[in-house]
Structure formats: structure tokens, C-alpha cells
Amino acid sequence: MRSVHFFDTTLRDGEQSPGVNLSTEEKVAIALQLERLGIDVIEAGFAASSRGDGESIRQVARAVRTSTVVSLARAVEKDIDRAYEALKDAESPGIHVFLATSPIHRKYKLNMSRDEVLDQAEAAVRRARKYFPWVEFSCEDGGRTEKDFLCRVAERVIEAGADVLNIPDTVGYLTPVEYGEIFRYLKQNARGIEKVRLSAHCHDDLGMATSNTLAAVETGVEQVEGTINGIGERAGNAALEEVAMALATRESFYQAAVNLNLKEITKTSRMVSKMTGMFVPGNKAVVGANAFAHEAGIHQDGMLKNSATYEIMRPETVGLTDTRLVLGKHSGRHAFRDKLVGMGYSFTDHQLNELFVRFKELTDRKKTVEDEDLVSLVEEKWGEPEETFALDSIHLSYGNRSVPAASLRLRDTRNGRMLEEAACGNGSVDAIFRAVDRVTGEGMELEDYKIVSVTHGKDALGEVYVQLRQGEYTAQGRGVSTDVLEASARAYIKAVNRMMIRRDGSRESRSSEVPVGS
Ligand SMILES: CC(=O)SCCNC(=O)CCNC(=O)[C@H](O)C(C)(C)COP(=O)(O)OP(=O)(O)OC[C@H]1O[C@@H](n2cnc3c(N)ncnc32)[C@H](O)[C@@H]1OP(=O)(O)O
Ligand SMILES: CC(C)C(=O)C(=O)O
Ligand SMILES: [Mg+2]
């Protein structure tokens, strides 16, 4: 089976996204990750664009070992020379020379005749050939170029020594059928076309970049260009992770092998998102947070019975650990039971039905249901476990030049005695937690701590969630107050009370119908 080569331009076309400006260190880090992903050609920048970009290309080329590193260059001597300066010490250097060929660009942008374009393209490739072992030529706005003229350009640059001929749909205008047709036409009508590797470069202005790229592969094109997460000029480029997963998932249809380390996809996407500040929408194919999440009850039921019912790719393939069954408004009993059992609860069918009714009521008020909501749901249904310790009062001392201290008074409900203790900490919350540990005599390990604002405004209610561990036991607690420090104390004390019940069992007769907690 033939292989498809991957040309990544995240560091050049991707960086053309408005607002994105990558430092040399960031470019090197992304390039090394692209190399781990198995990208064949990394376009590291446009050397003539600035001294800084030239330096970034030089550093990327020094760091990268296996991928070919290229610079973009206009079809002018100065740009080609600058690219050579940046890449002359590279392990595997290349150059990507471009010149627009469409009538609109020739007339309004370049002010050049067809013959002038042909001559300049040929001269540029000849010069590039002298310096570089790998030369790609792109017919900018090739998608809107007369097909017969594209053939003439192709013949001239092939004659001059180009290794790769790229036909970009620069403005994302074409449909998949039209784009595929260009490559078929070239293959039938351009002399010497079999000597070059053909390449597809698509933009997403009409949301067709991935489809157009795949249409090109169907015609036999051997190289695809694009960016991670589809970032790039205007609406962006073809998203390489989408192209790769489409080819891999539908290999028998495309009859083309993808030699990428697909497991690196998620990591690469997250790194690019973080470094460019371009967030990936939740519903983005392959790398969106919801790409492998299932919310609807009927889907979740199918997934639990056999994941092939609703999953065409396994999350592990792209480096994710698991599929997510998200509990929400549309979930059903199968997923609900599966989740609670996973959290260590067990119950009868009757209990499950009762809980499920309360769960559905909750989902009418809350978009997604977190683990702590489920803990509350189960424990509220069968009554909050009796408190061993109840908060009576809290006093805090804080100054930006002093160590924060907390003093607490708790009531021990077993004998009604008031217990008082104080502690210092690394911050007020830490001081509070230490003081609680002293009063209760319990040693707890804080596993998770979250503050969420429940309402808005200066007097917003703050909700604190803590998860504690004591040996093999875990317990969660929630506290709500207009003061997050008081909410923290309440959450922690609640978790301590629950932990004691989980560990020691109930003080009084806990009913046998109470589900067994984790
Ligand atoms: C489709 C694409 O993505 S193409 C890549 C686009 N990327 C970029 O433009 C980012 C980097 N660009 C830059 O830093 C700057 O544009 C530079 C340094 C390259 C050039 O800056 P300037 O010299 O000030 O020119 P400016 O960008 O304003 O205009 C472009 C000039 O190049 C010419 N030009 C455009 N494309 C090409 C080409 N492929 N080959 C030769 N000349 C070209 C234009 O006709 C124009 O020439 P003119 O000054 O004679 O009218
Ligand atoms: C430089 C070229 C290949 C380009 O990015 C485009 O035409 O979209
Ligand atoms: Mg482009």
C-alpha cells in the first residue's frame, strides 16, 4: 500500500493565525513534538519574514533529527538566500518556494503576465535547487488558476528540478470534487508530472479543508499539508489530526498508509493549543474534549454493551486513556448504575430507581453531574451520616508579613464537649485544615480541593469541595458559605465526619438499606 507523507505547517501557516506569535523556544518544543508524532516535513517558518523567524528556523533545524525542516520563501533571490542561511547546517534541510498563479493574483497582486510568472517560478526553483536537497514549489491560489496554465507552471518547475509540486486551495474556495479534478487533470496533461510528488494544501474558509485534502488523496496525491488543530490564516488550514485519523480509520477505502505515531496526537494538540493560546472547541473532531465523550442514555447503554456501537475510533489510538461517559440530562439507568458501582456503591434495583429519579431532578438544574454530586445524592437520600464534629466558631489571623493562623471551636456531638485548637499553616486554608486535624486527632491527606463560585457578584456564594484520603479510605465533603474560608472549614469537617463513618461504621443503627460506600 502506498504511504501518505505529512507536511506540517503549524509553525508557519499556523503562526499566521491572528494573535499567535511563537517564541524560538516554543517553536523548538512544538517541532520536537511533531517529530515524535512522525511528521515527515516541518515547515518551521518564513526566514525572510524577520531575523527572529530566521533564528527560530535555525534552532528548530538544530534540534530536529529525523524530519525534514523547511522554510517558506517567495520566488525571489533574497528569500531563497535567507532560507539557505537559516538552514545550511540542518541535518535534512528543504525549501518551500511559492508564487501565485491565478488570474486575480497575477493581475492585482503581482502585476505580472503569465510568461513572467512562468519565468520567475522557473528561476526561483533553479536557484533553490542549487542550495537545497529538497525543493517544493507551490502555485499559490492554484485552486483558482486556469488548469492549462497550471500544467505549464508544473512543467517549468519540474524541468527546473522541483521535488514536490503543491497545489494550494489558498482561499478555501473549492469543493472536494473540483479539487480532486485539478490533480486528475495535471496527471493527464502535464509533461513530466510523474517525476514530482504531488501535495495538497487546503484552507477551511467554507469548512471543507479536510474533505478537500482527502479528495486529493483519493486521486493519488502523496503528500498532505496542514496544521495541528487546524489553526492558520483566517479560518485555518486542514487539521492534520483529522486527515490522519480519517486515513487510518478508513484505510481500506483510501488504500493509503499513515506512518504517524497516532498516540502522540492528543499530546501534540494540547501543546499547540497551550502555546498558541488557540483553544480547541469541545466538539472538534479527534481532539475536542467531547470527541470521545458520550452523554445520551441510549448511546451510553450501547457503549457499555459494545463500544463499536457508537465509537469508530478508540480513544487509546490518539493517546487518550479512556472514553468518557458523561452523566447529564440525557443519561439513562445503565450509565448511572455503572458510574455508582465504579465509585464503590452497591444497591438493589429498587434503590437504583429511587436514586435515578433524584438524579434526573438534579440534571434539570445542573448541566453536568460530578462525582461529588453523586456522593451527595446517595448520602442525602439515605440521610446525611450523623456528624461527630460540628463547627461552632472559627477565627483567622492573616497578614501579608505574618504566618496565617486559625483557631477553631468544634462540638463533639458524642458528649457535647467543646474542643478548641489553633494551628499555623502555609496559607489560611492550610491553617484551618491543620487546626481541624488537631481538634479531631485525625490525620488526613488532602487529595483534592476545589472552589467554585455558586452565585455571581461581590457577595457570591462560594462552594468548596475537598477529597480526603486516610489509608485505603476516601471521603468527600462540600461546604457552602459567602466566605470561602468558612466554606473550606465546613467541607473539610464534613469529609472528616464521613471518613470516620466509612472507616469505623455508624455509631448508631445505620439502616441496612444504606448503600455501601467506597
Ligand atoms: C498564502 C500564504 O500564506 S503566503 C505567505 C504569507 N506569509 C506572510 O506574508 C508572512 C511573512 N511576511 C512578511 O513578513 C512580509 O510580508 C515580507 C517581509 C515577506 C515582505 O514584506 P514587504 O517587503 O514589506 O512586502 P509586503 O508584504 O508589503 O508585500 C509583498 C510583496 O511581495 C510580492 N510577492 C508576494 N508574493 C510573492 C512571491 N511568491 N514571490 C515574489 N514576490 C511576491 C508582492 O507582490 C509585494 O511586492 P511589491 O512590494 O513589489 O508590491
Ligand atoms: C504558501 C502557500 C502554500 C500557502 O500557504 C497557501 O497558498 O495557502
Ligand atoms: Mg496556506
- pLDDT tens, 496-508? 988 887 788 655 4
With a 6 A CB cut-off, is 7 part of the ligand 2 pocket?
no
Shared domain for 175 and 264, answered yes or no, is yes
CA 272/CA 13 separation, integer angstroms: 13
pTM beyond 0.90: no
pLDDT tier for residue 509 given thresholds of 50, 70 and 90: very low
Q: Is the CB of 15 under 6 A from ligand 2?
A: no
Q: Which atom of ligand 1 is nearest to the CA of 13?
A: 3
Question: Tens of pLDDT along 169-199?
Answer: 999 999 999 999 999 999 999 999 999 999 9
Contact status, residue 138 vs residue 89, Cβ threshold 8 Å:
no
pLDDT confidence of residue 61: 97
Distance from the CA of 101 to the center of ligand 1, in angstroms? 15
In this structure, are strands 256-258 and 164-169 parallel, antiparallel, or unpaired? unpaired
Name the pairing type of β-strands 324-325 and 293-294. parallel
> 346 with 418, same domain?
no
**31 CB-side CA count, 13 A:** 30
* pLDDT tier for residue 370 given thresholds of 50, 70 and 90: confident
Q: Give the per-residue pLDDT at 361.
A: 85
Residue 110 CA: which ligand 1 atom is closest? 45
Hey, whose CA ends up nearest to atom 25 of ligand 1?
49
Q: Which atom of ligand 1 is nearest to the CA of 46?
A: 11
- Does the beta carbon of 48 lie inside 6 Å of ligand 1? yes
pLDDT digits (tens, 9 = 90+) for 432-467: 999 999 999 999 999 989 887 665 666 666 788 888
Do 352 and 483 lie in one domain? The reply is no
In CATH, what number is assigned to the domain containing residue 212?
A: 3.20.20.70
DSSP 69-131: EEEEEESSHHHHHHHHHHHTT-SSEEEEEEEE-SHHIIIIII---HHHHHHHHHHHHHHHHHH
- pLDDT of 234 strictly over 80: yes
- CA nearest to 240, candidates 220, 254, 258, 215: 258
Same domain? For 259 and 358 the reply is no
* Mean local confidence (pLDDT), 89-96: 96
Q: Which of 221, 249, 276 is the last residue before a domain boundary? A: 276
Give the pLDDT of residue 516.
Answer: 43
CB atoms within 10 A of CB 327: 24
Q: In this structure, are strands 41-45 and 2-8 parallel, antiparallel, or unpaired?
A: parallel
* 404 in Cβ contact with 396 (< 8 Å): yes
Residue nearest to atom 8 of ligand 2 (CA): 170
Residue where a domain terminates, one of 337, 369, 401:
369
Q: Is the CB of 170 under 6 A from ligand 2?
A: yes
Cα(23)–Cα(129) distance, integer angstroms: 30
pLDDT of residue 461: 66
Sheet arrangement for strand 473-481 = 445-453, 462-470, 473-481
Residue 511 in any domain: the answer is: no
Question: Of the residues 12, 110, 202, which should be mutated to test ligand 1's pocket, given the most ligand atoms within 8 Å of the CB?
Answer: 110
- Atom 7, ligand 1: residue with shortest CA distance: 16
User: Mean pLDDT highest for which of 245-259, 325-339, 398-412?
Assistant: 245-259
For the chain, the helix, strand and coil percentages under 3-state DSSP, each to the nearest 5? 45, 20, 35
In terms of domains, do 402 and 303 share one?
Answer: no
Residues 210 and 298 in one domain: no
Dihedral sign (CA 307, 310, 313, 316): negative
Q: Is residue 265 located within the same domain as residue 406?
A: no
As a whole number of Å, the end-to-end CA separation of the chain is 52
Nearest-atom number in ligand 1 for the CA of 75 is 40
372 vs 36, which has greater pLDDT?
A: 36
Q: Does residue 380 form part of some domain?
A: no
| Highest averaged pLDDT of the listed ranges 99-113, 401-415, 465-479 | 99-113
Mean of pLDDT values over 351-365: 87
CA-nearest residue for atom 6, ligand 2, is 170
46 CB within 6 A, ligand 1 = yes
Q: How far is the CA of 109 from the centre of ligand 1 (A)?
A: 10
- Ligand 2, residues 140, 167, 171, 212: which to mutate, most atoms within 8 A of Cβ? 140
Q: What is the tens place of the pLDDT at every residue in 266-285?
A: 999 999 999 999 999 999 99
User: What's the CA-to-centroid distance between 110 and ligand 1, angstroms?
Assistant: 10
* Per-residue cell: 394: 472559627
Is residue 321, in this structure, part of any structural domain at all? yes
Same-domain check for residues 442 and 495: yes
- Classify residue 14 by its DSSP letter: G
Q: Is the pLDDT of residue 512 over 50?
A: no
Q: Is residue 87 within 8 Å of 71, Cβ to Cβ?
A: yes
Average pLDDT score over the chain: 91
282 in a structural domain: no
Q: Do residues 488 and 432 lie in contact, with contact meaning Cβ atoms separated by under 8 Å? A: yes
Domain that holds residue 161: 2-276
361 & 401 share domain: no
Task: Answer whether residue 9 is part of any domain.
Answer: yes
Is residue 263 helix, strand or coil?
Answer: helix
Side chain identity at residue 432, one-letter code: I
Quick: pLDDT tens for 298-317.
999 999 999 999 999 999 99
Task: Give a yes or no: residue 382 inside a domain.
Answer: no
Report CA-CA distances (Å) from 464 to 37, 179, 422. 40, 55, 21
CATH of the domain at 393: 3.30.160.270
125 and 205 fall within a common domain: yes
Determine the distance separating the centroid of ligand 2 and the alpha carbon of 16, expressed in angstroms.
11
Ligand 1 atom nearest residue 72's Cα: 5
Ligand 1 pocket: which of 46, 102, 107 to mutate (most atoms within 8 A of CB): 46
pLDDT recorded at residue 382:
61
234 lines ligand 1 (CB under 6 A): no
Ligand 1 centre distance from Cα of residue 73 (Å): 9
From CA 464, how far away is CA 445, in angstroms rounded?
16
Do 357 and 406 fall within a single domain?
no
User: Please, what is the angle between helix 77-87 and helix 51-63, to 10°?
Assistant: 40
* Domains in the chain, number: 3
Angle at alpha carbon of residue 272, lines to 268 and 278, rounded to 5°: 140
The reply to whether 78 falls in a domain is yes
Q: Which three cell numbers stand for residue 141?
A: 491560489
- 151 domain residue, yes or no: yes
Q: How far is the CA of 78 from the centre of ligand 1 (A)?
A: 12
Whether residue 198 is found in the same domain as residue 314: no
Q: Does residue 76's CB lie within 6 angstroms of at least one atom of ligand 1? A: yes
In this model, does residue 111 exceed pLDDT 70?
yes
In DSSP terms, 239 is beta-bridged to 227
pLDDT at 177: 98
At residue 229, the pLDDT reads: 98
Q: Is any ligand 1 atom within 6 A of the Cβ of residue 79?
A: no
Kindly indicate the confidence band of residue 200, based on its pLDDT and cuts at 50, 70 and 90: very high
Per-residue pLDDT for 518 more than 60?
no
- How far does residue 179's CA lie from ligand 1's centre (Å)? 26
Ligand 1 center–CA 138 separation, angstroms = 14
- The ipTM value here is 0.98
Taking the CA of residue 12 as reference, the ligand 2 atom at the shortest distance is: 5
> Rounded to an integer, what distance in angstroms lies between the CA atom of residue 407 and that of residue 174?
70
User: Cβ(71)–Cβ(45) under 8 Å?
Assistant: yes
Counting atoms of ligand 1 from 1, which one is nearest the CA of 50? 14
Q: Which of 338, 369, 400 is the last residue of a domain?
A: 369
